[in-house]
Amino acid sequence: MSAAQQPTQEELAAHRKKQQEFEEAAIKIQTMVDNIRHDPMTMHKITINGATKTRESFMYRILAPAFQAQSLHEVIGLSRQAVRKMERFGIFDDVKMQLDSPSDSWLRDRKDLVDLGIWVKESSRVQIKTGTEAGNAEASMYGALTVKNVFGGAETLSTSMAFGTRTSSAFQFALATPVLADPDKNLSINLFSQARNNTQWSSYEEELKGGSLKYTTLSPLGYHEFAYEGQWREICRPSEKASLSIREQCGHSLKSALTHMWVHDMRDEPLMPSTGHFIRVIQEYAGLGGDVEHLRQEVEAQVARSNDKGYILSASIKSGYLHSLNGKPSKISDRFFLGGPMSVRGFKSNGLGPREGNDSLGGDAYIAAGVSLLTPLPGLAERDSFKAHFFANAGSLVSVKPGQSAAKTVDDLTKTPSVSAGAGIVYRHPQVRIELNFALPLMAAKTDAVSKGWQLGLGISFL
């Protein structure tokens, strides 16, 4: 910068004076607000500008608590709460508010009344999205159409279809609406159709059609989802080499179930957490109709800790149990599967547990645990998305005969666990966790399908 461009002493002095005046005015205003913040004051009128596609009754439910304010402090607090709630629905690109004296001429002398003006910019209602995504043992292409604020009350109508390596095709239609204008409470109706290709680990394909009614809410303890779901399933198209157990499972089944899922996630991030803990519990009762009757429960927990040198230690445990209520063996569609590059590493995808020939049959009870150490990579220590990975995994998956005692199930799960260890590299992509590991099975059951050597895994959940 040349000398001619440098500010003069007079300009610097004028700038400092203006800055001082601004700070003094800000302090004066804050003092005035503090002096009157508890003075009696109520909301007189709320004016909304720009909400042409949103119902007035919906907006009233959001803003009504502001009329309960009894002081300036409460007016400001409740108005801000209403604006934050409006922002969380995702139907506005911008929300601004302003408090002012009553606009009605005959009320301008009323110091105990205030008007609230809100200016909003509504988001585009239609969104079309296409792309690819990866989940555990699966990659897919998808297309989705979403219409927001369908009826003017932050309702969302979405349709999607996907084609993938495991889910050959999937179609879904969903209509969701907030309950009582609360962004933390949602009710949705879902219709879906899927075709799954399970021939990678078992000689059959599966078709599902059905619908569900879901209610989701947030509580101080976490996220809750309550659902009723009806499914028509068909095990079909067995291969020529399909085992007798798979052929016996072929045919139709109808499942009518109530489910509850609770998620408590305090991790700093889901894909490569460095601190915090995570708990997920899923409970299901099937037997409200159809030919499937069972209780099914699954529990997952994870904890992570790190230090200032970039080392991350995490531990995970998962367990599930399927209990038949009609004295019949469980359906393969409801069983648990275990093993793979993001599950118990060192084994093929769904390669643990009961097997007949080349077919994984799944199990009715399982437990799996893992410990991972992530360390900075030499030369890439500054890039937190790349880490060296050292791990040890263990798991067991067994079938449970109707009427079998809990002691027998626990004994089956613990007497011959499958164990592996290894090392590799982890990359945290913004949407998926990618692992390239060299895994070495240390203990394996006779029926396990081992996978010694390099494994590539992509997923959003991991052991």
Q: What percent of the chain has pLDDT over 70?
A: 93
Q: What backbone torsions phi and psi does residue 315 show, to the nearest 5 degrees?
A: -135, 140
Residue 23 pLDDT:
76
Rounded CA gap, 184 and 179, in Å?
Answer: 8
Q: For residue 173, how far is the Cα from the chain centroid? A: 19
Residue 403 pLDDT:
86
Q: What percent of the chain has pLDDT over 90?
A: 71
- Asked whether the beta carbons of 113 and 66 are under 8 A apart, the reply is no
**Within this chain, domains 37-122 and 198-459 share the same CATH topology:** no
* CATH architecture designation of domain 198-459: Beta Barrel (2.40)
- Checking if the pLDDT of 172 tops 50, the result is yes
- Asked whether the beta carbons of 184 and 196 are under 8 A apart, the reply is no
Tell me the CATH number of domain 37-122, given options 3.10.20.310, 3.40.50.1820, 3.40.30.10, 3.10.129.10. Answer: 3.10.20.310
Tens-place pLDDT, residues 20-61: 877 776 676 566 566 556 678 889 899 999 999 999 999 999
Write the DSSP symbol of residue 64: G
Strand partners, 368: 318, 395
Q: What is the pTM of this model?
A: 0.86
Task: Tell me the domain boundaries of the chain.
Answer: 1-27, 37-122, 198-459
Residue 383 pLDDT:
74
| Helix then strand then coil, % of the chain, to nearest 5 | 15, 50, 30
Please indicate whether residue 76 or residue 254 has the higher confidence score (pLDDT).
254
- Neighbouring C-alpha atoms within 13 Å toward the C-beta of 322: 24
Contacts (Cβ under 8 Å, ≥6 apart) of 312 = 272, 273, 274, 304, 305, 306, 372, 373, 374, 375, 387
Rounded CA gap, 88 and 44, in Å?
Answer: 25
Amino acid, res. 11: E
Task: Round the average pLDDT of the chain to a whole number and report it.
Answer: 90
Tens-place pLDDT, residues 259-300: 999 999 999 999 999 999 999 999 999 999 999 999 999 999
Tens-place pLDDT, residues 247-265: 999 999 999 999 999 999 9
Tens-place pLDDT, residues 116-155: 999 999 999 999 988 666 555 556 677 899 999 999 999 9
- Checking if the pLDDT of 206 tops 60, the result is yes
- Checking if the pLDDT of 1 tops 50, the result is no
